[in-house]
Amino acid sequence: MSITRLQEQGKKAKQASYELGKLSSIEKNKGLIAVAEAILIQQEIIIKENKKDIEKAKDAGISGALLDRLTLNENRIIAMAEGLKQIAQLDDPIGEIAMMKKRPNGLQIGQKRVPLGVIAIIYEARPNVTADAFGLCFKAGNAVLLKGGKEALYSNMAIAEIISDALSKCGLPKDGIQFIADTDRSTTLALMKLNKYVDVLIPRGGKNLIQSVIQNSTIPIIETGAGNCHLYIDEFADLDQAISIVINAKTQRPGVCNAIETLLVHKAIDKSKFLELVEKLESHSVELRVDDQVRKWVPRLERSTERDWDEEYLDLILAIKTVSSLEEAIQHIHNYGTGHSEAIVTENYTHAQKFLDEVDAAAVYVNASTRFTDGFEFGFGAEIGISTQKLHARGPMGLKELTTTKYIIYGTGQARM
């Protein structure tokens, strides 16, 4: 793709954003429902295009967990459409007056919630993001410029085209969604510098993608995704509960950012229960990489390396490390965590509170799986991603995080002296 073509898409998205910002909630909800219905009606086209991506992925040797993220079937397409319908039911944040006060000179000064404008999203592997990202950005009055990974190219193109056509048939700005089909890295780098048209850039993917955006973007960014998540089994844990939580947090869907990658275990853990946990993890085909203490209990397991503590596997692989105290567990998380989701299993109130207070992450859990770090599970209805930074948005980002505010001032002829 030429830079000129990319700029044209940016210009179209910018113009569409002005129109989208004026739409009523009724008009936006009508568009979302129309898009949802169009996706259901044309699901055979989506599945056909998705099969092309799957075959390419298999030829490239993509692993099972990543292949799962890429795959679309009838149930996932129904869920995609249902997600758009749920977004239509959410309260519209646009136009909300966050504050209004009267100054001594008679000026009334308030803050009004408005769209961000044009949001660019660079993402990998998961084609459902195309519909999810559009839906949330559209409901918040934003245009969206999408750059999906090459693994899901055919799926993404089909979904984006269906969305654009459905908007057009509703009399809504079809340019409110722009999909960048060129998968060349130079195009991605050019997008990162399209600050003339793009207001915010959100990378959704692995550590390498996020670091590339941080280093190259001239557009303000919201970091999302990288999830080197930990679960710590405290010496005061209910071990049956701990086993259940670990199995869920690692195996329920290993290829997502809120699955745990490292298990920290207090060295005083009951050995028989720990062996039960190992057995259950292996029954779920989890490959274990463990420290020397664990290998004393189970010599056949693979020894971990320093690299394992820093790894986001996104696969059925789990690193296990023993620690001598809660403080050591917290320090390990400080050293290797990505600020996403961290959990402790304990029956000790003081330990639970210390973990909540001292662990620096977007979501911190006591006696629950990290898999709940999700917009739907948090009651937001949907999310654009999980922010791991601390400015503007942190944790699951719903509609409100896709808006900003502007000051509105009412006067009666005041002039500054």
Higher pLDDT, 347 or 126: 347
Q: Residue 135 — very low, low, confident or very high, per pLDDT cuts 50/70/90?
A: very high
Q: How far is CA 206 from CA 44, 62, 311, in A?
A: 30, 15, 11
% of residues, the chain, pLDDT over 70: 99
Q: What is d(CA 234, CA 237) in angstroms, rounded to the nearest whole number? A: 5
353: left (phi over 0), alpha (psi -120 to 50) or beta: alpha
Mean pLDDT over residues 160-178, rounded? Answer: 97
- Angle, alpha carbons 322-323-327 (nearest 5°): 155
Rounded Cα distance, 388 and 341, in Å: 9
Tell me: pLDDT of 315 over 60: yes
Question: In sequence order, what are the residues at sequence separation of 6 or more whose Cβ sits closer than 8 angstroms to the Cβ of residue 266?
Answer: 232, 233, 234, 235, 237, 322, 323, 324, 325, 326, 329
Q: What Cα–Cα distance (Å) separates residue 158 from each residue in 63, 76, 78, 152?
A: 24, 15, 16, 10
d(CA 199, CA 111): 20
More confident residue, 227 or 276: 276
pLDDT of residue 65: 72
In DSSP notation, 105-154 reads TS-EEEEEEEE--EEEEEE-S-THHHHHHHHHHHHTT-EEEEE--GGGHH
Q: What is the pLDDT of residue 69?
A: 83
Interval 261-265 mean pLDDT: 98
Segment 109-134 shows an average pLDDT of: 93
Domains of the chain: 3-224+384-410 (3.40.605.10), 229-372 (3.40.309.10)
* pLDDT at residue 225 is higher than 70: no
For residue 5, the one-letter residue type is R
Confidence at residue 184, expressed as pLDDT on a 0 to 100 scale: 87
N- to C-terminal Cα distance for the chain?
55
Confidence bin at 301 (pLDDT 50/70/90): very high
Q: pLDDT digit string (tens) for 286-298?
A: 999 999 999 999 9
Stretch 4-9: mean pLDDT: 94
pLDDT tier at 2, thresholds 50, 70, 90: low
In total, the chain counts a number of residues equal to: 417
Rounded distance between C-alpha atoms, residue 379 and residue 13, angstroms: 30
pLDDT at position 263 is 98
Report pLDDT digits (tens) over 185-216. Answer: 899 999 999 999 999 999 987 778 888 999 99
Chain centre distance of CA 123: 10
Containing 263, the helix (H) or strand (E) segment is strand 260-266
pLDDT at 126: 84
With a cut of 60, say whether residue 1 has pLDDT above it: no
Q: Distance (Å, rounded) from C-alpha 330 to C-alpha 334?
A: 6
Q: What is the pLDDT of residue 376?
A: 76
For 236, residues 6+ apart whose C-beta sits below 8 A from its C-beta are 346, 347, 348, 351
More confident residue, 206 or 50: 50
For residues 120-135, give the mean pLDDT: 91
pTM: predicted TM-score of the whole model, two decimal places: 0.83
Q: Which of 221-230, 239-248, 343-352 has the lowest mean pLDDT?
A: 221-230
Q: Sort strands 108-115 and 403-410 into parallel, antiparallel or unpaired.
A: antiparallel
What's the mean pLDDT in 109-120?
A: 97
Residue 81 near residue 46 (C-beta atoms within 8 A): no
Decide if pLDDT at 116 tops 80: yes
**Of 311-315, 348-352, 390-394, which gets the smallest average pLDDT?**
390-394
Mean predicted lDDT score pLDDT of the chain: 94
